[in-house]
Structures are given as structure tokens and as C-alpha cells.
Amino acid sequence: MGPKAATSEKPAATEEPELTDGFHLVIDALKLNGIETIYGVPGIPITDLGRMAQADGLRVISFRHEQNAGNAAAIAGYLTKKPGICLTVSAPGFLNGLTALANATTNCFPMILISGSSEREIVDLQQGDYEEMDQLAIAKPLCKAAFRVLHAADIGIGVARAIRAAVSGRPGGVYLDLPAKLLSQTMNAVAGKKSLVKVIDAAPDQIPAKHAVQRALDVLKNAKRPLIIFGKGASYAQADDAIRELVEKSGIPFLPMSMAKGLLPDTHPQCAGAARSTVLKDSDVVMLIGARLNWLLSHGKGKTWGSAPKKFIQIDIEPREMDSNIEIAAPLVGDIGSCVTALLEGMDSTWQAPPAEWTSAIKAKKDENIAKMAPRLANTKSPMDFHGALGALRNVIKERPDTILVNEGANTLDLARGVIDMYQPRKRLDVGTWGIMGIGTSFAIAAAIETGKPVLAVEGDSAFGFCGMEVETICRYQLPVCIVIFNNDGIYRGTDTDPTGRDPATTVFVKGSRYDKMMEAFGGVGVNVESPAELKRAVDEALNSGKPTLINAVIDPAAGTESGRIGNLNPQSVLKKK
């Protein structure tokens, strides 16, 4: 597979052995381990790596900025349980990719950031090499593991260690540093081939201890008001059938975290999504499955959780997650598939569904909240408010449940999460644990590439601004992506003013911008819409045609609230109100 040794005009006295080099060994190592796609941005020293990978049958998706390539790799990892690969140049390219690597680690998405780097000898003596930077040292605190390969013969092991580190245990980001010199290093092709490592069982099952399963069942059995909370770890695990069986056999109401929506349909009779505050407050036993008790769940304490005593059961692959915020009465450490299966096996014929008093109280609250919301979602105001626009998009997903929904923004995110029901696992991708802006276009690209499904990306105008240039990438690869910008002229609202009257306020953008023109600039379809009916029609058309489309949805600039639903986290100056 490697290149032949340079052929000379004169007949050679003895035949030279076939050689391979660092470029080919990296590609062969990735291919051997089932990697099919690389996301990246080319340049010195990895331009040829991308070219050769493409020539060798790998799909190489070139982005306009490494952060977007990195985010695409991370979400590809989440969707496939294989590490997503991001390839960048040294120093600035590496740093651009680093935010995505850190975000992947924070969200437990498996990805590998592979960056070319400058000459070790020069970097270590700080002699000013082209794009000089000690990348390995910088990456280390932001990922699960970081490796550097100095010898071509170690590429196989380096790639294998990176893959295993990314996907085993709690998944996360891994950095792999490839100095320029390594890539052109040659070695005997046969020895090179032998040096490659196929990673066997990269993410082995982690079977929970029997007594831990029994302890969890005992806590669950004694519950009067049990609740299951699914996090994105549960959707990542791809144990969909076992999870559904557990929910339905146990009869316990469940609440999905944002990216776990659709693991079971939001319309499932046991889904407590529309009664969220009630179930968090009133439950007495909560079983967390692949969800952390971080800020998104108010750390398991305070007003959100009410005053009634509560016991927690937590299923997680990471033992150190237990008691991270509060006491876990029944820690169940293992992979979600194995843990859920073990619980099912332990639920014998004496298992009783939760008291009807609990389930009917939840149903009553759900019905009440859904009825309250219905007229707001049906409103036809123009310019639209968030609810009117989301009412239209909610119907789109209802009619096309296999569409992947990407979502970012503040109001655009928080309200869409509540309004748009999801029906299938891993169909909702969003800003995750950090609430990071700028994942929209890259998640949409990777979702389309990895699944072949149509993608609907619903983004605030600010959120889109962080990653908007990738519309060119969407057009270039002709991906079935429809982006809807909720254009309210700014961050949260478009109505702020600078009290001095000098400049625009810090949270507002150019009024009446036409983001749809950006898509047209690259040959895609751009549409401007001002009513829910127009919005629905335009999205339907985009998804029917599969053509790259950007819909500029004009939203009343006064409709949003500061920080969306997390205004309580926003520090306020007491002086400001003077």
C-alpha cells in the first residue's frame, strides 16, 4: 500500500525493499480500525495526509474553520460510538480545534484531534519554528489522554491507544500529536504493516456487580414516587431496546435530558417531560441513567428538587461520577446496556408498577401544561414570536420523525427543547453540557454525513454567527441540511440600546439582516419567511428537495427573554438599578 522507492533510470543492482511512510501508516492505521471519515482543515504539514486519505478511500470533509471540523468529529463520535477524527495543522489550527476537543471531553463524546506539529528539537529549545507550539502540553488538561508519536514504527500503537482512550470507559477527547518529520519518515513496508494494531473490543462491556444491581432494585421497589432520568449517555449507549423494555416493564415515569429526547418518544404515555418541575420536586426515588447531576439538574439539590427526602440510583460507566454532588444511595457502575439488562433480569413477577396516585398526578399535570401551551403554539402572529415559529417546526418533526434536529441559541434553544417533541433516539443534537454556541452547522454536517438522514438546524442568529461560514461546506458537499435562523436581531432580544446613544447595544445586530442571502451566495436555496405557515412551507420544501437551504425566519425582536431559560445564572449588579 505504501509508495514504491523512487525508481531510477538505471537498472538497480539489487532490488530495493518496498517502503512505506508516516502518511500511509496513519491512514492504514485508521482504516484498519474502521475509521471512514476525517473532518479537518488542510495546510502544512498535513495537506498530503488529507489528499492521500481521500485517494485511499477515506472520506475527508474539509471545513472553513477547525473548531467546526472538531465539533463535527465530536458529534460523529456521539452518533456512531467510533471516535470522530479531526485533522488540523499546527499551532493556530490546533488551537482552533482545541475548543472542540475540550467540549467533546466535557460532553463525553469520543473524538481524536490529530494535529501536525513543528520540529521537536526547535520547539523544545523555543527557537522559533514555523507555527511553533508545545501542543501536547497544552492539550493535556483538556482531554482524556494525549499522545505524541516520534517514530513511524509507533504509529500503529499510537493510533490504537488514541482509539481505546477515546471510546472505552467514559468517552471523551484524545489528542494525537504528529510532528511533521514523522509523516515523511520511511520504513520497510512489510514491517510497517506488521506494526499496525487492530483494536479488539475498543469499548468492552462493563458488567455491573450483582449486589449493586440488587441494591438498586431494592431502592426502586420501595419507591412510592419513582422517576427515571435519561441523559445523553443513555442515548449514546445505543441500548435502545433494553431501555424501552425497562421503562415499560417497570411502569416508571421518565424524564429525558435534552439530547436524550426521543430515546423513547416524547409522546410516550410514561414521558414526564411536560411535567418536569412536578416530577423533580415530588419524586422520592430518582434513577439517573447516563445523566450527571451537574448544573443542568441543579446539582441534585435546592428548590428544583423540593423538600421531600429523595434517594438516588445512578447508572454510569464512570465510578467517580457517584456522589459528585450529593449522596447516591445505589451506585450502579457499568455500561448502560449491561446495567439495564441486569435490572430487567432482576425484576421478577412480583414487580409492581408505581402507585396510580403518582402516575395519575403526573398525567394531570402534563395534560394541564400541554393544554396551556397549545394556543401559544398555534398563534399565527407576523412577525413571529418563538412559540408560533416553533409550533410550525414541531409539526415538521412530527411528520418527519427521522429528521435530525440540531439546535442552538438561547431562547431558540430553550423553547425549542420544550416545544419540539422527538420520536427517535439520537435525533436531537444541541449545545450540550457547556451550552456552547457555534455547534450548529458542524453538527448538521456530521449528522448528514454519518447518517444520510435529512437535518433541520434551528439556530439563533447569534449562535449561527459563530459557525455560519460552514454554509459553504454544506453547499460544497450538497448536504440535505435545512438551517432555520430565528432572526430576532440579536442575542436574546434585538431591542437593547446603548444608553449613551453612541454605539449599537452589545447584544444587538444589524436590523433586518437577510441570512438567507448567505446560502444563495454559494448556490444553495435561501428563503425569507415572516409567518408560521410560510416557515412550515419552506422547511417542507427544503426537506423534500434535500437541497442545502437557509431560511431566515423573522422573529419579533421583543419576543425573547434575557439568557432564555437560565436567566437565574446571570449575575446582576445591584448598583445598575440605581
Q: Give CA–CA dist 549/454, Å, rounded.
A: 11
Q: Which of 58, 296, 329, 344 binds ligand ADP (CB under 6 A)?
A: 296
> Of the ranges 226-234, 377-385, 435-443, 517-525, which one interacts with ligand ADP (CB under 6 A)?
226-234
- Interface with ligand ADP, residue 292, by CB under 6 A: yes
Q: Give CA–CA dist 207/334, Å, rounded.
A: 5
Q: Give CA–CA dist 472/561, Å, rounded.
A: 31
| Lookup result for grid cell 398526578 | 361
Q: Give CA–CA dist 346/461, Å, rounded.
A: 50
Find the angle CA(111)-CA(116)-CA(120) to the nearest 5 degrees: 125
HEC string of 450-508 equals HHCCCEEEEEEHHHHHCCHHHHHHHHHCCCCEEEEEEECCECCCCCCCCCCCCCCCCCE
Q: Give CA–CA dist 312/343, Å, rounded.
A: 15
| Least distance CB 280 / ligand ADP (angstroms) | 13
Strand 173-179 versus strand 111-117 pairing type: parallel
Find which of ligand TZD, ligand ADP, Mg ion, none residue 237 binds, CB within 5 to 8 Å per kind. Answer: ligand ADP
| Least distance CB 494 / ligand TZD (angstroms) | 8
Q: Which of 87, 260, 275, 553 binds ligand ADP (CB under 6 A)?
A: 260
Residues in region 419-478 near ligand TZD by CB under 6 A: 435-438, 460-463
Residue 536 Cα to chain centre, angstroms: 26
Q: What is the dihedral of CA 558, 564, 568, 569, to 10 degrees?
A: -120
| Least distance CB 98 / Mg ion (angstroms) | 27
Residue whose CB is less far from ligand TZD, 175 or 509 = 509
- Interface with ligand TZD, residue 410, by CB under 6 A: yes
| Least distance CB 288 / ligand ADP (angstroms) | 8
- Interface with ligand ADP, residue 240, by CB under 6 A: no
Number of chain positions touching ligand ADP (CB under 6 A)? 24
Find which of ligand TZD, Mg ion, ligand ADP, none residue 564 binds, CB within 5 to 8 Å per kind. Answer: ligand TZD
Q: Which of 96, 117, 235, 488 binds ligand TZD (CB under 6 A)?
A: 488
Number of chain positions touching Mg ion (CB under 5 A)? 3
Q: Give CA–CA dist 443/455, Å, rounded.
A: 9
Q: Which of 2, 233, 409, 440 binds ligand TZD (CB under 6 A)?
A: 409
Q: Which helix (H) or strand (E) holds 537?
A: helix 532-545
Residues in region 106-145 near ligand ADP by CB under 6 A: 107-108
| Least distance CB 446 / ligand ADP (angstroms) | 18
Give, as one character, the DSSP assignment of residue 34: T
| Least distance CB 521 / ligand ADP (angstroms) | 36
Q: Hey, how many other C-beta atoms are within 10 angstroms of the C-beta on 466?
A: 20
Phi-psi region of 532 (alpha: psi -120 to 50; beta: other; left: phi over 0): alpha
What single-letter amino acid sits at 83? P
Q: Which of 64, 170, 215, 276 binds ligand ADP (CB under 6 A)?
A: 170
| Least distance CB 420 / ligand ADP (angstroms) | 17
Residue whose CB is less far from ligand TZD, 288 or 463 = 463
Residues in region 380-439 near ligand ADP by CB under 6 A: 433
- Interface with ligand TZD, residue 564, by CB under 6 A: yes
Q: What are phi and psi of 89, to 5 degrees?
A: -80, -175
Q: Give CA–CA dist 331/211, Å, rounded.
A: 11
Of all residues in the chain, what percent are helix, strand and coil, respectively (each to 5)? Answer: 45, 15, 40
- Interface with ligand TZD, residue 103, by CB under 6 A: no
Residue whose CB is less far from ligand ADP, 321 or 461 = 321
Which residues does 255 contact at the CB level (< 8 Å), separation at least 6?
227, 228, 229, 230, 271, 272, 273, 276, 279, 280
| Least distance CB 256 / ligand ADP (angstroms) | 8
Q: Is 314 helix (H, G, I), strand (E, B) or coil?
A: strand
Q: Pattern of binders to ligand ADP over 308-327, x per CB under 6 A? A: --------xxx--x------
- Interface with ligand TZD, residue 142, by CB under 6 A: no
Residues in region 417-476 near Mg ion by CB under 5 A: 460-461
- Interface with ligand ADP, residue 257, by CB under 6 A: yes
Number of chain positions touching ligand TZD (CB under 6 A)? 18
> Of the ranges 219-227, 229-237, 419-427, 543-551, which one interacts with ligand ADP (CB under 6 A)?
229-237
Residue whose CB is less far from ligand TZD, 21 or 408 = 408
Find which of Mg ion, ligand ADP, ligand TZD, none residue 270 binds, CB within 5 to 8 Å per kind. Answer: none
| Least distance CB 135 / ligand TZD (angstroms) | 22
Q: What are phi and psi of 56, to 5 degrees?
A: -90, 10
Interface residues with Mg ion (CB under 5 A) are: 460-461, 488
Interface residues with ligand TZD (CB under 6 A) are: 409-412, 435-438, 460-463, 486, 488, 491-492, 560, 564
